[in-house]
């Protein structure tokens, strides 16, 4: 039964992937051919400068006030992941 469910999942996700791929190819084929590779684009065209928002200011202030929060969060996640991995190695189910 598990093998049947696995095959159904694999075929379902594979079919969804192929459907998405064909939809994207159809969209690309229908698009006008206006892409030009004659010269490199300038940096301002690729990455336009934007004004910082209030949210950006808030994030910068938080990083200034508590720079260790990101490192501590990463360490907590790494510890949890390692504990779950080691617990899974010991299980015999």
d(CA 88, CA 26): 45
Cα(87)–Cα(79) distance, integer angstroms: 12
Q: What is the pLDDT of residues 17-55, one digit of tens each?
A: 999 999 988 988 888 776 666 665 554 455 556 666 677
Of 9-13, 40-44, 58-62, 68-72, minimum mean pLDDT range: 40-44
For the full predicted model, state whether its pTM sits above 0.85: no
């Amino acid at each position: 039964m598990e093998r049947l469910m696995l095959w159904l999942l694999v075929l379902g996700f594979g079919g969804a992937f192929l459907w998405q791929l064909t939809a994207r190819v159809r969209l690309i084929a229908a698009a006008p051919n206006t892409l030009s590779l004659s010269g490199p684009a300038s940096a301002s065209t690729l990455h336009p400068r934007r004004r910082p928002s209030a949210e950006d200011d808030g994030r910068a202030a938080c990083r200034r006030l508590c720079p260790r929060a990101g490192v501590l969060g990463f360490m907590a996640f790494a510890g949890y992941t390692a504990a779950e991995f080691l617990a899974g190695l010991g299980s015999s189910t």
